[in-house]
Amino acid sequence: MSSFIRKKAYTGPVQGVVLDWAGTAVDFGCMGPVEVFRESFHLFGIDISVAEVRQFMGLMKKDHIRHLCRLPSVSARWREKFGQLPDETDVNALYAETEPRMVSTIARYSDPIPGLLETVDGLRKSGIRIGSTTGYTRPMMEILVPEARQKGYQPDAIVCSSDTPAGRPYPWMCFQNAIQLQVYPMEAMVKIGDTVSDIEEGLNAGMWTIGLSKSGNSLGLSQDETDRMDPENLKNRLSEIEIAMREAGAHYVVEGIWACLPIISDINKRLCIAASSR
């Protein structure tokens, strides 16, 4: 019995792009989830900082809570209040408060990031399919997707962390996008996101990766706050974020989705050069 084994490197054009949601496509600064996580922990008498929350952005929301509970600073506060370290029962209790709050909150953070609609239009004109992955669960996306659609954004595929065995950095959501978009091989796809876990997800799936330094969680500022930031300080912060994303393995790093069309063209050129050299 014979089996098919693909041996040749892919040398065609980009066929699919998979976007993250908050901080990449909508919600400049990835503000919505931060607010909810802080509220949920506050209900248990534990105050957590914005910086603590942002460390794990991009993960499936229950995994995000698990990682927060493992932070020495957070677990110490929990032990001081409850006399023991947080366990899985506590994670479940926190998540029970987080999911409904996330559902009710994220609709307020559905505005497309500047350049998103133009980028999607440009990709589609080039015959490129648009997929998406997110740390949000399906009930959360049932609220966010219609809001984004009303504002002009509707990807061809939407895969949530709750749709697969595990969220980022595992590649399962990207693989599911490939199935829904009917794109093969994975080298024909590009993952775009604003967190290191987005980059890891794309790399683990065998995709090209583009990190976004300005619009998302890494900088963690609203558009107004970003516009008011001292230019030199902003430049330095963006440089630090770019270094971190490149160290994570990102093939490219740009400020936001508005700068991605030229990168897709460059990837196509690299694929074409690779083809002509064989």
Q: Is position 11 within any domain?
A: no
Of 6, 7, 11, which Cα lies nearest the Cα of 188? 11
Give the domain-ending residue among 60, 84, 108: 108
For residue 1, the model assigns a pLDDT of 46
Note the pLDDT tens digit of each residue in 174-199: 999 999 999 999 999 999 999 999 99
Overall average pLDDT of the 41-57 stretch: 93
Say yes or no to pLDDT of 59 above 90: no
When pLDDT is cut at 50, 70 and 90, the band that residue 66 belongs to is: very high
Buried-exposed string 104-122: b where 16+ CB fall within 10 A, e elsewhere: ebbeebbebbebbeebbee
Residue 74 belongs to domain spanning: 32-108
* 198 and 102 fall within a common domain: no
Query: What is d(CA 100, CA 166) in angstroms, rounded to the nearest whole number?
Result: 21
Q: Catalytic: which of 61, 62, 191, 214?
A: 61
| pLDDT value of residue 278 | 55
Q: Is the peptide bond between 169 and the residue preceding it cis, with omega within 30 degrees of 0?
A: yes
**What is d(CA 74, CA 59) in angstroms, rounded to the nearest whole number?**
18
230 is known as an active-site residue: no
CB 23 within 8 A of CB 221: no
Question: Do residues 199 and 232 share a domain?
Answer: yes
Is 158's pLDDT higher than 70?
yes
Residue 182: which region, alpha, beta or left (left: phi > 0; alpha: psi -120 to 50)? left
Per-residue model confidence (pLDDT) at position 60: 85
CATH number of residue 64's parent domain:
1.10.150.240
Q: Is residue 131 part of a domain?
A: yes
Q: Supply φ then ψ for residue 153, to 5 degrees.
A: -115, 120
Question: Count of domains in the chain?
Answer: 2
Q: Is 224 a catalytic residue?
A: no
Write down which residue in 59, 76, 108 finishes a domain. 108
- Categorize the per-residue pLDDT at 104 as very low, low, confident or very high, splitting at 50, 70 and 90: confident
- Taking the C-alpha atoms of residue 52 and residue 40, their distance in angstroms, rounded to an integer, is 14
How does pLDDT run across 11-20, given as a tens digit for each residue?
889 999 999 9
User: Does position 276 have pLDDT exceeding 80, yes or no?
Assistant: no
CA distance 136 to 33: 9
Domain CATH for 169: 3.40.50.1000
Q: Name the token pair of 7.
A: 């041996």
Tell me the CA end-to-end span of the chain in Å, nearest whole number.
Answer: 31
| 67 shares a domain with 185 | no
Instruction: Given the residues 7, 8, 20, 125, select the one marked as catalytic.
Output: 20
* This prediction's pTM: 0.87
The model's confidence at residue 249, banded by pLDDT at 50, 70 and 90, is very high
Q: What six digits make up the tokens of 40?
A: 């949920």
| Distance separating alpha carbons of residues 200 and 35, to the nearest angstrom | 25
Residue with tokens 């690779």: 274
Average pLDDT over residues 211-236: 96
Q: Phi and psi (nearest 5°) for 102?
A: -65, -45
Three-state SS sequence of the chain? CCCCCCCCCCCCCCCEEEECCECCCECCCCHHHHHHHHHHHHHCCCCCCHHHHHCCCCCCHHHHHHHHHHCHHHHHHHHHHHCCCCCHHHHHHHHHHHHHHHHHHHHHHCCECCCHHHHHHHHHHCCCEEEEEECCCHHHHHHHHHHHHHCCCCCCCCEEHHHCCCCCCCCHHHHHHHHHHCCCCHHHEEEEECCHHHHHHHHHCCCEEEEECCCCCCCCCCHHHHHHCCHHHHHHHHHHHHHHHHHCCCCEEECCHHHCHHHHHHHHHHHHHHHHCC
Q: Do 244 and 150 share a structural domain?
A: yes
